[in-house]
Amino acid sequence: MKISEIRDVSRVWQQFVPIQSISQLLSFIAFYALIIGVVYLITRNEPEVFGIVCTGATVGAFPALLIALPQEFIAEFDSERATASTLKEIDELLRFRGYKTKGDLGTTTALYISKLPAALSWKENSFVIRRSEKSIIVRGPKGSVKWLRDRLIR
């Protein structure tokens, strides 16, 4: 088995504004507004603390968007049997990580989505697995793609 390096497949501008969809933006804003509301209730008698905590919340929330940016790698094999075995391993690893299949998109493509309720997860955190006879293309969120690739290399 030969596994390629991880390749960033997001658009260049998304490295600076890592929003991938309107639904992701709205979800992020709603969660951020909730956090700011709670912070306000806790610090309403200390306005200088409110500003500091809001700045920290802003800086702290940004990585959640960055690790959802898409990346991919390709695994190549000598036989169809090795491809099938690795597909099974990918399925087990993704299920362990908290994903479930959302039905096959044909015989060569599968979609894995988070088991979390829709309100707590982004569709941008989904995995798409494409299979050919002797290769597999794995595309998903930055943080999880690295984790999956590292497990397959072991």
Convert the pLDDT of each residue in 57-102 to its tens digit.
888 888 888 888 999 999 999 999 999 999 999 999 999 999 999 8
Q: Say yes or no: 28 and 103 in one domain.
A: no
Check whether 14 has a pLDDT greater than 70: yes
Q: Say yes or no: 117 and 84 in one domain.
A: yes
User: How many domains does the chain fold into?
Assistant: 2
Q: Say yes or no: 88 and 111 in one domain.
A: yes
Question: What would the mean pLDDT of 117-144 be, rounded to a whole number?
Answer: 90
Domain of residue 52, residue span: 21-66
Domain membership of residue 46 (yes or no) is yes
Q: Say yes or no: 77 and 131 in one domain.
A: yes
Higher pLDDT, 127 or 28: 127
Domain membership of residue 14 (yes or no) is no
Boundary residue ending a domain (66, 82, 99): 66
Determine the 3-state secondary structure of 85 from DSSP.
helix
Q: Say yes or no: 84 and 48 in one domain.
A: no
Burial (0-12, 13-18, 19+ Cβ within 10 Å), 21: exposed
Domain membership of residue 16 (yes or no) is no
Domain membership of residue 15 (yes or no) is no
Angstrom distances, CA of residue 12 to CA of 8, 16, 18, 69, 127:
9, 8, 10, 11, 21
Residue 104: the pLDDT is 61
Residue 63: the pLDDT is 86
Share of the chain above pLDDT 70, in %: 97
